[in-house]
């Protein structure tokens, strides 16, 4: 997206100067004397024109209520200044508006993109918001080497190669990779492992790799395997299968029965891959099927990924509906935010029309670099795909509503059991993990009305040198201090939803004492916190709960709140242990060459290929280092000094 025009910046600055008094007055204690509603909005009509742009509606405390785009800012603002003709949702929003901000753009498409960026950043109350927006995994066939690697990839496409996807989950990618390796025998090892191998690995022994690392296959034959894998992932599976069948018959005719049997096994594996792809549409080569279902003020969007005539899985999303937005607005908001960090396919099949389909067409086409169509199919196979996605959306939302009702009861029970003033909407649970103080980490998990909020999980590497190894109290102090200091810095007025309503600490009286000290030091006195200890026998079901200044107590063995707290604690424990193991594994397999300044992936491969191991490279003399391809005299000196001048 191009930056706003200079006139847009000046327009925003002018409106801030002109209406800064209203925002400033409303930023204090939210005084009821601050004017709000239609008259405030009408006052802006004198200073804006018919340019396209983005507007923000602000409350009496300066909080962003709504972000919108307009083809004609004056016309859109004029519609809000009318006294009648609004839905209940828009009426509430207008009544709460104390001021507005504007930013003009060059085009309507630019306004659409800017609007979605601001919504994701500011999370206004009345906007549709996609809350789970992680990237999807792909399969990558690398390029630029004699023996390309096939692997799972997530994130930016910074590595050279062919990307296939997206897949709905990491599990779907792993299953497909497993089968593809049985069919095409491509290597999945890293370049560093590949460069240093002297004999075939286990993957070759179980017929999952043709062992190019030790010369078991020629460059030309391996290239043919790579080409077959690429054709299959592009949907040309029948051509690949026919070619394998031809080779098998030829091997059988030449009485090369072992080779014929291996080819037969590859054909069987290929058939299994095709059968696990689910429904494979004949007339849709590449598309995302997006279906929406709204019920009870909540929405579910199901996205099915069709690539190379194959169904590569689906995922359900539950966007926030902005206090009751309609289907067209919800779906438009979802699409704009969903493809903000993803590449769209050339075809989107939708269950409902959206408000600005032409603008979304243009925005997505610019992102893809070719024409993107948004269609609402009425018949045929495309319609069947949308109907299937709608059914999944309806069923997913029904399960979600049932789970939400159960979760609401548990949160109400938690408030009653622990004597809280209000039902908690955000519970943060803390735990530590270490082995005799080494590789120590802290973990925070979050739960709310919709269950576990995994996008809000946080891990903390213990940094303080003053903590005695194994000091759980000291680690908890550091973790909680860092967490609360960040909240106080980023949101001192507590306008966001990031402040917890309840803290659950894995531990007893000692941990609670440490938490109380932190709270007093930071001046945070209104967040309740409870320690969860396993009790004298350390058996599940005999947990004891500790509150500051009160005696420990237990809940009845069959109390649903007890099971709920156990699940929260176990999830925090799982996350903490997983984080600790990942840190320990990274340290175990750390390569000392990674720390040498100026040595990137390519030079590291060259050093490993030349010396055979990182240890041998670290012991090499200066003359030997200079003899490595790609290592200059200056860099050789840097490497030598790094390993020999540490004292």
For the chain of 647 residues, list the mean pLDDT of each consecutive stretch of 10: 41 38 34 80 90 93 91 92 89 93 90 90 90 80 90 86 84 82 86 84 88 90 87 73 77 76 70 56 88 90 88 87 87 92 91 91 91 93 93 90 87 94 94 73 91 90 71 84 92 86 90 90 91 70 85 87 91 88 70 77 82 81 87 88 70
**Would you state the pLDDT for residue 22?**
31
Element at 19 (helix H, strand E): helix 6-26
Which whole-number Å values give the CA distances from 159 to 144, 156, 168, 178, in the listed order?
A: 10, 8, 21, 22
**Would you state the pLDDT for residue 21?**
31
- Distance in angstroms (rounded) separating the CA atoms of residues 612 and 605: 10
Residues in contact with 218: Cβ distance below 8 Å, sequence separation at least 6, in sequence order: none
**Would you state the pLDDT for residue 423?**
95
**Would you state the pLDDT for residue 9?**
39
The per-residue b/e assignment along 288-308, b for 16 or more CB within 10 angstroms, e otherwise, is bbbbbbbeeebbbbbbbbbbb
**Would you state the pLDDT for residue 25?**
31
**Would you state the pLDDT for residue 30?**
43
**Would you state the pLDDT for residue 596?**
81
- Distance in angstroms (rounded) separating the CA atoms of residues 264 and 245: 8
CB-CB contact of 248 with 268 (8 Å): no
Residues in contact with 181: Cβ distance below 8 Å, sequence separation at least 6, in sequence order: 150, 188, 203, 208, 209
**Would you state the pLDDT for residue 470?**
63
Which residues of 308-448 form beta strands (DSSP E)? 310-317, 347-350, 373-375, 427-435, 438-448
**Would you state the pLDDT for residue 353?**
93
**Would you state the pLDDT for residue 275?**
53
The structure's pTM equals 0.68
Q: How many other CB atoms are there within 10 angstroms of residue 632's CB atom? A: 12
**Would you state the pLDDT for residue 14?**
39
- Distance in angstroms (rounded) separating the CA atoms of residues 374 and 606: 48
**Would you state the pLDDT for residue 17?**
35
Instruction: For the chain, list the domains and their CATH numbers.
Output: 6-122 (3.40.1440.10), 138-275 (no CATH), 286-398 (3.30.420.340), 427-587 (3.30.420.340), 592-644 (1.10.150.20)
**Would you state the pLDDT for residue 7?**
39
Quick one: which of 367, 350, 366 has its CA closest to 291? Answer: 350
């Amino acid at each position: 997206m191009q930056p706003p025009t200079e006139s847009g910046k000046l327009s925003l600055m002018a409106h801030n100067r002109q209406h800064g008094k209203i925002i400033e007055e409303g930023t204090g204690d939210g005084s009821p004397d601050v004017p709000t509603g239609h008259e405030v909005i009408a006052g802006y009509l004198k200073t804006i024109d018919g340019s396209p742009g983005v507007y923000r509606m602000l409350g009496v405390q300066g909080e962003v209520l709504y972000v919108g785009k307009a083809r004609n800012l004056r016309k859109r603002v004029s519609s809000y200044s009318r006294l009648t003709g609004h839905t209940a949702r828009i009426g509430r929003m207008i009544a709460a508006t104390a001021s507005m901000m504007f930013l003009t753009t060059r085009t309507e498409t630019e306004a659409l993109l800017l609007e979605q960026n601001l919504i994701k950043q500011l999370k206004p109350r009345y906007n549709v918001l996609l809350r789970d927006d992680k990237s999807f995994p792909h399969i990558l066939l690398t390029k630029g080497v004699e023996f390309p690697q096939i692997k799972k990839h997530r994130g930016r496409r910074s590595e050279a190669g062919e990307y296939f996807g997206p897949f709905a989950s990491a599990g779907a990618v792993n299953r497909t990779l497993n089968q593809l390796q049985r069919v095409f025998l491509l290597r999945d090892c890293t370049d560093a492992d590949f460069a240093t191998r002297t004999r075939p690995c286990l993957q070759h022994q179980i017929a999952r790799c043709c062992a190019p690392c030790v010369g078991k296959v020629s460059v030309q034959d391996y290239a043919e395997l790579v080409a077959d894998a690429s054709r299959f992932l592009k949907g040309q599976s029948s051509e690949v299968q026919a070619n394998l069948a031809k080779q098998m018959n030829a091997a059988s005719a030449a009485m090369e029965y072992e080779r014929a049997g291996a080819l037969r096994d590859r054909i069987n594996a290929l058939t299994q891959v095709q059968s696990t792809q689910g429904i494979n549409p004949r007339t849709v080569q590449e598309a995302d099927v997006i279906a929406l279902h709204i019920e009870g003020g909540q929405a579910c969007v199901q996205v099915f990924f069709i690539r190379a005539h194959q169904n590569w899985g689906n995922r359900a999303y539950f966007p926030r509906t902005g206090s009751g937005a309609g289907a067209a607005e919800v779906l438009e908001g979802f699409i704009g935010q969903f493809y903000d960090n993803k590449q769209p396919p050339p075809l989107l099949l939708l269950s409902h029309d959206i408000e600005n389909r032409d603008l979304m067409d243009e925005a997505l086409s610019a992102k893809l670099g070719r024409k993107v169509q948004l269609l609402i199919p009425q018949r045929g196979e495309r319609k069947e795909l949308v109907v299937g996605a709608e059914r999944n959306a309806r069923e997913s939302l029904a399960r979600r509503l049932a789970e939400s009702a159960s979760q609401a009861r548990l949160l109400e029970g938690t408030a009653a059991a622990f004597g809280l003033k209000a039902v908690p909407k955000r519970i943060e649970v803390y735990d530590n993990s270490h082995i005799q103080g080494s590789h120590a980490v802290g973990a925070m998990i979050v739960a709310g009305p919709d269950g576990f909020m995994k996008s809000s999980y946080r891990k903390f590497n213990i940094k303080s040198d003053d903590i005695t190894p194994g000091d759980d109290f000291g680690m908890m102090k550091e973790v909680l201090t860092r967490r609360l200091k960040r909240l106080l810095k980023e949101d001192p007025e507590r306008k966001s939803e990031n402040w917890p309503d309840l803290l659950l600490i894995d531990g007893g009286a000692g941990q609670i004492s440490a938490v109380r000290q932190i709270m007093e030091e930071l001046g945070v006195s209104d967040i309740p916190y409870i320690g969860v200890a396993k009790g004298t026998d350390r058996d599940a079901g005999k947990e004891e709960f500790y509150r500051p200044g009160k005696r420990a107590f237990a809940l009845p063995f069959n109390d649903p709140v007890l099971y709920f707290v156990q699940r929260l604690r176990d999830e925090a424990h799982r996350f903490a242990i997983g984080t600790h193991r990942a840190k320990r594994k990274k340290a175990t397999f750390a390569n000392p060459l990674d720390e040498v300044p100026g040595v990137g992936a390519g030079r590291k491969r060259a050093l490993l290929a030349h010396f055979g191991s990182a240890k041998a490279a670290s012991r090499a003399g200066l003359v030997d280092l200079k003899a490595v391809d790609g290592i200059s005299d200056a860099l050789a000196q840097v490497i030598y000094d790094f390993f020999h001048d540490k004292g």
